[in-house]
Structure 1
Amino acid sequence: MNKIIVLYKRPAGKPALGDFKTEIEDVPTADDGEVLLKTRYVSVDPYLRGRMNDEESYIPPFELNKPLQSGIIAEVVDSNNTLFKVGDFVLGNLDWKEYQVSNGKGLRTIPNDPAYLTAHLGILGMTGMTAYLGLTKIGAPKPGETIVVSGAAGAVGSVVGQVGKLLGCRVVGLAGSDEKVELLKSKFHFDEAINYKTTTDLSAAIKTACPAGVDVYFDNVGGPISDAVLNNINKHARIPLCGAISLYNAAEPVLGPYIQPVLVKKSALIQGFIIGDFAAHLPEATKQLTSWLMEGKLTYSETIYEGFDHITQAFLALFEGSNEGKMIVKI
């Protein structure tokens, strides 16, 4: 039998296990031109929360009582498609199913190298591309400038910091525990890191960590954390707006300081983006990130849950901040 996870209810605020339902169906068969895929690794990401709302966005919302989708590494277990053979590992945006068929569109064969297989969901996948392209194309950092990263111990933030260091910048990370602060400095080589949960005056702490001010702020979080960073930006600062996880589960609009005055005063640029905005640059990003990774100049962390039945728990854990680096479920 084949397990499927569907969106049962649209979350009101923070998602809960009751918003999802596991269903059972027969394992499908591959017709002409199709492949039968067995799910091996599932990526769970904060942006999926937005797709659970029935509202217009840059990507259609999930439908109720239909499978959720995300980046998945799957193994070809049967093939009637000449482009794929049994035993191939493929990457694609696929349903949360143990088994599924595909006509091959949108699938990319990846090397079955145990050392780097899951990296294609993270640092060599959408995560790494988002970090590299958002930082370089919008942040446009120059050697000697200061970069601040919120959500710095997460999948995107940890890559942003490393890329910033490779480009000759001072990098300061904001994270939610002392363990993550130590990880940022010891493993990812951030110049400084701040635990925003235990810091009584975050704006002052950022000022101390960034004596020359903030030239680039890579924003993954939004909310009061970003307000504190904006208090410290320099003239002509650039702010790639990647996400706002602190606000994703708000049931009502959240009011905060108005950012327009500081943006005007500092002649600053803030630009929201999605990875599709830079589709033409994906080959460039893939080549550079792969090169740095193979040369040992980049590293990454993963938090791995095991078992198909734990996909929803892994997703919910993202909003508790319990992950270090990329959150992945191994099936």
Structure 2
Amino acid sequence: MTQINRQVLLVSRPQGAATTDNFKLVQTPLAPLADGELRVRNHYLSLDPYMRGRMNDSKSYAPPQPLNEVMIGGTVGEVVESKNPKFSAGDKVVGMFGWQEYGTSNGTNLYKVDDTHVPLSVYLGSVGMPGVTAWYGVNRIIAPKAGETVVVSAASGAVGSVVGQLAKLAGCHAVGIAGGADKCRYVVDTLGFDACVDYKAGNLYQDLKAVTPNGVDGYFENVGGAVLDAVLARMNSFGRIALCGMIANYDGEPLPLKHPALMLTQRLLVQGFIVAEHMDVWPEALKQLGTLVAQRKLHYRETIAQGLDAAPEAFLGLLKGLNFGKQLVKLI
């Protein structure tokens, strides 16, 4: 009996905010494996803000997501069948199979993981692409020195939570910006940040000023918009900004900076980066992050939607900040 693979396709491009109508759930029969191929039953799907940019047909750092094809996304799962000598049934692997229950591959860009000490889902979060993103921005761009102040937006999210904890391990004063009192309590009480500013409280700049009395030396940007404006106004001379995301603008018109001249007068380093372009650092970063998680020195939180059907709504919720920590979809 032929196995069926359930998949979510991108069938239209958003006109303004993304909606569930942009996606379609389909069922596709699985073809027999060819020599050299393997099949993976995906256990978890990663949902990430970058996916919103791929839905647009516009110039970016990567080609747009093609219409009527499986939506892009990172996955972790188990090999269930293999005709590839490098992989055996039972191997746990991380890949980019997208929004579907099964993935078929020749082994390219798949890597094995060990879930003995690190839960499988965490290879899509703190010990995966988000964790390496945080690691690169902190260590290669911000390069914090002990005693400096490091701020991160979306501080309770998959990337931001790692940024602040790495800054604390480097001996810095770590300040988060997050939406809501619950998220701010988590950032301070569980993740160990020194302070967290609730941008929804309506007093962003003054609240940020109160917890950064010595200004800001390093900033990891995930949000953009009014949050970037507020932090720019607190940056010290020769501060460093790791520009990772601009989620505030993903579903609407870009908001111009109010005080762009601060980048000049404060002689700031503002460096955008795409972590997939820095594969040389991944082994070092993943080793450090995996060790910290296994030793319970790096904390994380997950929001898990159940089943592939829930992926579109969970993704739209992510864009609105409804998730708490890393947003995943459990597929099995």
Shared fold (TM-score, shorter chain, > 0.5): yes
Identity %: 43
Q: Which residue of 2 aligns with 1:254?
A: 255
Q: Which residue of 2 aligns with 1:205?
A: 207
Q: Which residue of 2 aligns with 1:237?
A: 239
Structure 1 residue 267: Cα displacement: 0.8
Q: Which residue of 2 aligns with 1:23?
A: 26
Tell me, in whole angstroms, the C-alpha distance in 2 between the residues paired with 1:196 and 1:99: 40
Structure 1 residue 215: Cα displacement: 0.5
CA contact 1:3–1:22 (8 Å) conserved in 2: yes
Structure 1 residue 135: Cα displacement: 1.0
Structure 1 residue 258: Cα displacement: 4.1
CA contact 2:239–2:267 (8 Å) conserved in 1: yes
Q: Which residue of 2 aligns with 1:139?
A: 142
Give 1:329's aligned amino acid: V
CA contact 2:155–2:177 (8 Å) conserved in 1: yes
CA gap of 1:217–1:320, structure 2 versus 1, over 3 A, is: same
Give 2:326's aligned amino acid: K
State the Cα deviation string for residues 45-64 of structure 1 (Å, max 9, x = none): 00011111112222211111
CA gap of 1:95–1:296, structure 2 versus 1, over 3 A, is: closer
Q: Which residue of 2 aligns with 1:219?
A: 221
Q: Which residue of 2 aligns with 1:293?
A: 293
Tell me, in whole angstroms, the C-alpha distance in 2 between the residues paired with 1:98 and 1:154: 25
Tell me, in whole angstroms, the C-alpha distance in 2 between the residues paired with 1:279 and 1:166: 23
Structure 1: which 4+ aligned runs deviate by more than 4 Å? none
3-state SS of 1:33 partner: coil
Give 2:237's aligned amino acid: K
Match of 1:184 among 187, 194, 201: 187
Tell me, in whole angstroms, the C-alpha distance in 1 between the residues paired with 2:88 and 2:276: 29
Tell me, in whole angstroms, the C-alpha distance in 2 between the residues paired with 1:287 and 1:115: 12
3-state SS of 1:136 partner: helix
3-state SS of 2:237 partner: strand
Structure 1 residue 199: Cα displacement: 3.1
Gaps of 5+ in 2: none
Give 2:210's aligned amino acid: T
Q: Which residue of 2 aligns with 1:82?
A: 85
Tell me, in whole angstroms, the C-alpha distance in 1 between the residues paired with 2:192 and 2:98: 36
CA contact 1:7–1:63 (8 Å) conserved in 2: yes
Structure 1 residue 291: Cα displacement: 2.3
Give 2:74's aligned amino acid: G
Give 1:281's aligned amino acid: V
Length-normalised TM-score, structure 1: 0.96
Give 1:98's aligned amino acid: E
State the Cα deviation string for residues 63-122 of structure 1 (Å, max 9, x = none): 111111211012211111111111211111113222232111111111243852111111
The reply to whether residue 169 of structure 1 matches residue 172 of structure 2 is yes
Tell me, in whole angstroms, the C-alpha distance in 1 between the residues paired with 2:156 and 2:291: 22
More deviation in 268-277 or 158-167? Answer: 268-277
CA contact 2:225–2:256 (8 Å) conserved in 1: no
Tell me, in whole angstroms, the C-alpha distance in 2 between the residues paired with 1:50 and 1:187: 31
Q: Which residue of 2 aligns with 1:323?
A: 323
3-state SS of 1:11 partner: coil
Length-normalised TM-score, structure 2: 0.96
Q: Which residue of 2 aligns with 1:123?
A: 126
Gaps of 5+ in 1: none
Give 1:243's aligned amino acid: G
Aligned residues: 328
Give 2:182's aligned amino acid: E
Tell me, in whole angstroms, the C-alpha distance in 1 between the residues paired with 2:177 and 2:147: 20
